[in-house]
Structure 1
Amino acid sequence: MLLALTRQAGGRSWRLADACAACAAATSETAVVPDTLLGARRPKPAGGILRRARHGLSPGPDERARVREMLTYLSATLPQFTSPAARLLALQCALRSDTRGHVTVADGMLRSMRLRGRRELWLELAQAGWLETASPRPGSVAVRLLDATVLDQAPGRGARRRAAHWALHPTPLVVPAAAPAVLQLTALALASHTLRTEDLDAVSRLCGHSPQQTMELLDRLVSARTLASWHHHHDTGEVLWQFPQQLPQCSADRTAEYCNPRRPERR
């Protein structure tokens, strides 16, 4: 895996993410960050992570960043027509796999994702050459990932599993469990961003949608009260969204348009 820097919105923003050499070369306005002599960050003590989970506090930036980076990678490696449900399943498998690419997904987790018994999703990922199913086991599904880049992930399995767990309930944008996978994937893509603003094309790529589909799904998230509002800035291509429990805070350097994002018109 390489560290790649991608320019967005004409240079107004930049995105730093892990990517394979092929993905970095295929992505426009992207440069590979050279290796340095800086050591890796010291791991956070497990006690802090346990306290955060015990008291129901929001996840740290690592979980969000790891999910966003994996969604970015899957958007490049999976076929564009891959269904949202299959993308959510691939995300969980990639984050939970061991160093040999083996992962066992329990029926309980599949049931919580409303994907239990969806054999066509496993077949969809298998036909894409991304995984192969192993011998069936009672109460679970065992698979082996065939993507060599996924097998070479730098974060430890514990850190990746925490990110996978957060992806099942991506606060603060948790949609009802009965919501279709396309809405769950869109909400997850938005929740993985810390700044609540991103280039519309970038959000669309994370979900495998067209920009027009993404805007329609943002409307549906507002109707479901998962989002408070959203606004698309046509001159920059950026989309800004607001969470229901987080009101925009105006400041002298922010325009009224950002401080009072207009709700999408009803169709």
Structure 2
Amino acid sequence: MRRLTHDTARRVWTVEVRPYRPGPALRCSQCTLACEALPPGAAARSAALLHLARHARRDTLPTHLRTCQCRERGCCWHRRHRGCHGPVRLALTGEHGGRRWRLADVCTACAAATSHTALVPEGTPGSLAPMPARRRDPRPGRDTAAEHADAQARVRQTLTYLASALPRSCSPGARLVALQCALRADLNGEVRLPLGLLRGMRLHQRADLWDELEYAGWLRRGARSRVQVRAHLLDAAMQGQPRRPQRARSAHWALQPLPRATLRSLPCASRLAALALASHTRSDGTGAADVELLTHLCGQTPLQLSDLLDRLTSSRLLSSWHRTGLEDEVLWELPHLSRISGHPTTG
């Protein structure tokens, strides 16, 4: 049996996009080749993620042997030390405006404290194994609550990933479209969004949102018919995702995360902020999250985030919100009729 040493158990990979003639190339510190030229027309972001996914697939380890690589380095990847705890997961970090990408095993506490970092969704090419199938609970009402919790967790996880995978300049509307694409894609990364769905989101005439995602190299549009929009996701982490029925329920939950509240009449920025809050809200209607995390998810500045929260409060989607004394955490509460504990995820 092969004995694992510190070097063989070291699961952290970094790639950089560097300018070369005749075009950009990837440089990986773990590979023997100095640089990997990008194929013609390939997006550097997608190529970097695909390269990292190959490393993760090749260097798999059992869960009990994986360690937090941030802790191994004295938690130098985030500004302040909050204690290393939680399960070890694969996390993706984008640095220097998307020119450097790091994929590493880190605990959930370090991942939450590191800027521009997202946990890789379960079952993607970089993960170890798909989630086991959930058995249905014979007790009345338990399946609805479990499905809601599963949908909320998947939306939260996907929002966090997209916040790092998409450019900072990506608009809130494009992020909402990307979320639906990520949750509704098949194993090959193919997406078919019905025009009725986009019409319900009031985004059916927003070709500019698809232009943003295509320009970012995140997807490639196919032929559009009178009933649907087709696209192929170029992001390697979005291909090979299992459990499509559960992800479809999550996509439906993302359309109406707050019961008794109509979000589609709001601007896209307010809708995205409401969705980010709902994905981090507990069953009692209260929630808490770091300011840095919320601005990362919404693609906004702290001042813009405060304005969005005030708008949600004036629209009665939030009962109240405030920042803690240290000004680095936001606490909020939903109105009583908008508590999400019993909100169904299927329609």
Task: Name the counterpart of 1:94.
Answer: 182
1:56-114 Cα distance to aligned partner (Å, 9 max, x none):
x7952211111011111100010101000000000000000001111111011001100
Superposition TM-score, scaled by structure 2 size? 0.60
Alignment of 1:143 with 2:234, yes or no, is: no
Aligned partner (choices 204, 207, 215) of residue 298 of structure 2: 207
Shift of 1:43: 1.2
CA shift, 1:38, in A, is 11
Partner of residue 256, structure 1: none
Q: CA deviation at 1:177?
A: 2.0
Q: AA paired with 2:82?
A: G
What is the DSSP-based 3-state SS (H/G/I as helix, E as strand, rest coil) of the residue aligned with 1:163?
A: helix
The alpha-carbon deviation at position 52 of structure 1 amounts to 5.7
Is 1:11 the counterpart of 2:82 in the alignment? yes
> Is contact 1:85-1:181 (8 Å) kept?
yes
Contact 2:137 2:143 survives alignment (8 Å):
no
The structure 2 residue matched to 1:179, chosen from 266, 275, 278, is 266
Q: Which structure has the larger Rg?
A: 2
Distance (Å, rounded) in 2 between the aligned partners of 1:222 and 1:58: 28
Give 1:182 deviation, angstroms: 0.6
**C-alpha distance in 2, partners of 1:159/1:238?**
31
Q: Is the counterpart of residue 191 in structure 1 residue 278 in structure 2?
A: yes
1:194, CA displacement in angstroms? 3.5
Counterpart position of 2:13: none
Question: For the structure 1 residues 29 and 50, does the alpha-carbon distance in structure 2 shift closer, same or farther, using more than 3 Å as the test?
Answer: closer
Equivalent of 1:109 in 197, 217, 233 = 197
Deviation of the 1:139 alpha carbon: 1.4
Shift of 1:39: 9.6
Please list the CA deviations of residues 29-48 of structure 1 after superposition, one character each: whole Å capped at 9, or x if unmatched. Answer: 4499xxxx999544132988
Q: Could you say if the C-alpha distance between residues 47 and 180 of structure 1 is closer, same or farther in structure 2, counting changes exceeding 3 Å?
A: farther
Counterpart pick for 1:124 among 209, 212, 224 = 212
Q: Secondary structure at the match of 2:331?
A: strand
Separation (CA, whole Å) in 2 of partners of 1:62 and 1:230: 26
| TM-score normalised by length of structure 1 | 0.76
Measure, in 2, the Cα distance between the counterparts of 1:97 and 1:71. Answer: 15
CA displacement at 1:171 relative to structure 2: 2.2
Equivalent pair of 1:103/1:142 in contact (CA under 8 Å): yes
Q: Write the distance in 2 (CA, Å) between the matches of 1:10 and 1:169.
A: 36
Equivalents in 1 of 2:84, 2:262: separation in Å?
28
Runs of 4+ in structure 1 deviating by more than 6 angstroms, as ranges, are 1-9, 12-17, 46-51
Aligned to 2:249: 162
The answer for unaligned runs of 5 or more in structure 1 is 248-267
Partner letter of residue 244 of structure 1? P
In the TM superposition, residue 238 of structure 1 has moved relative to its aligned partner by 1.1
Distance change in 2, residues 1:59/1:134 (3 Å):
same
Shift of 1:138: 2.0
Cα distance in 2, alignment partners of residues 18 and 190 from structure 1: 24
CA contact (8 A) 1:130 1:147 kept: yes
Structure 1 vs Structure 2: percent identity of aligned residues? 39
Decide which of 228, 231, 256 is 2:319's aligned counterpart: 228
Q: Which residue matches 1:242?
A: 333
**Residues 258, 278 of structure 2: 8 Å contact kept:** yes
What is the rounded CA distance, in whole Å, between the counterparts of 1:215 and 1:221 in structure 2? 10
Q: Cα–Cα, structure 1 residues 108 and 42, in superposed 2: closer, same or farther, change >3 Å?
A: closer
Give the C-alpha shift of residue 184 in structure 1.
0.5
Residue deviations 1:143-170 (CA, integer Å, cap 9, x gap): 11100111133x4101111100100000
Q: Answer whether contact 1:199 1:238 (CA < 8 A) is retained.
A: yes
Shift of 1:8: 9.5
Structure with greater proportional helix content:
1
In 2, Cα distance between the equivalents of 1:122 and 1:133? 8
Q: Which range is displaced more, 189-198 or 160-169? A: 189-198
Asked if the contact 1:9–1:236 (Cα under 8 Å) also holds between the matched residues in 2, the reply is no
Instruction: Tell me, in whole angstroms, the C-alpha distance in 2 between the residues paired with 1:228 and 1:94.
Output: 31
Distance 1:124 1:60, change over 3 A: same
Give the superposed CA RMSD. 3.8
Could you tell me which runs of 5 or more consecutive residues in structure 2 were left unpaired when the two chains were aligned: 1-52, 57-62, 71-77, 94-100, 120-127, 339-347
State the secondary structure of the residue aligned to 2:289. Answer: strand
User: 1:189: how far off?
Assistant: 0.3
